[in-house]
Amino acid sequence: MTPATPLSPAAATVVVPVHRRVADLAAAHIGAWQQGYLQDRPQAVAALARLRRGAGREAGQMPDLWSLIDTDPLHTRPEGTRPLSEVELVRAENALHAACTLWAFHQQSRTTPMHRRHSRERPGGLGAAVRRLMPADGTDEAVRKRLVRAGTAPDLVTLAQRLRDIVALLRRDDIPLDYALLAGQLYAWQWPDGPATVRRAWGRSFHEQRQTRPASDENTTPDSE
């Protein structure tokens, strides 16, 4: 019997998709800031104040945030990754900036976490969050149109501005969002066919929340960051 040929290191490596790297980096940054902010740590409070000023604005317009949002992990090659092209890096950095600044705008003055990871029991996608703005037994057409309008944004800056309007409503009602998931979607949005793919994900999320809509987030244990 011929022994099986062992896999080469290259063949055994599972390449991490870029959108997942962006999502993971967003989760690491926002998770740390959020924990510090909720514990009233001065450094985190100051970081949030700086970040929220960038919500809905182009990353290049906010040099004050360049040293705050650490993108070094996107420029390194940990195991399971490859070097990113210049276009990939720019789009990853733009998506990370948009997600982090929208979270900061969302979290401002809130005493509970506004970034919460998605789970089957508690859907955390954008569509699910928008659905929770509506009555359980009906549809708020004005809110639905905001989601549709975001889905038809022509570019990332416009999308971030329209998302800021939605986030303002989520903030008002203390409805959290998975900002890591959103960061990965904002990266995907910038590629051909990306907007259509992301819109479909938001639509599925909307209907998923409608099917599993919880009565309240009270008496539940927050998901691990």
Q: What is the pLDDT along the chain (225 residues), one digit of tens a residue?
A: 445 445 444 444 557 899 999 999 999 999 999 999 999 999 999 999 999 999 988 887 888 888 899 999 998 877 767 789 999 999 999 999 999 999 999 999 999 999 999 888 888 899 999 999 998 777 788 998 999 999 999 999 999 999 999 999 999 999 999 999 999 999 999 999 999 999 999 999 888 766 554 444 443 433 433
| 63: DSSP letter | G
Residue whose C-alpha is closest to residue 126's, from 153, 150, 161: 150
Contact present, 206 and 148 (Cβ < 8 Å): no
d(CA 33, CA 100): 10
d(CA 205, CA 211): 10
Cα angle: 190, vertex 194, 195; to 5 degrees:
90
Residue showing tokens 């928008």: 130
Domains located in the chain, CATH noted: 16-212 (1.10.520.40)
3-state secondary structure of 219: coil
d(CA 222, CA 5): 45
Q: To which H or E segment does residue 73 belong?
A: helix 72-75
Q: Report in angstroms the alpha-carbon separations of 105 from 47, 60, 69, 82.
A: 12, 18, 15, 33
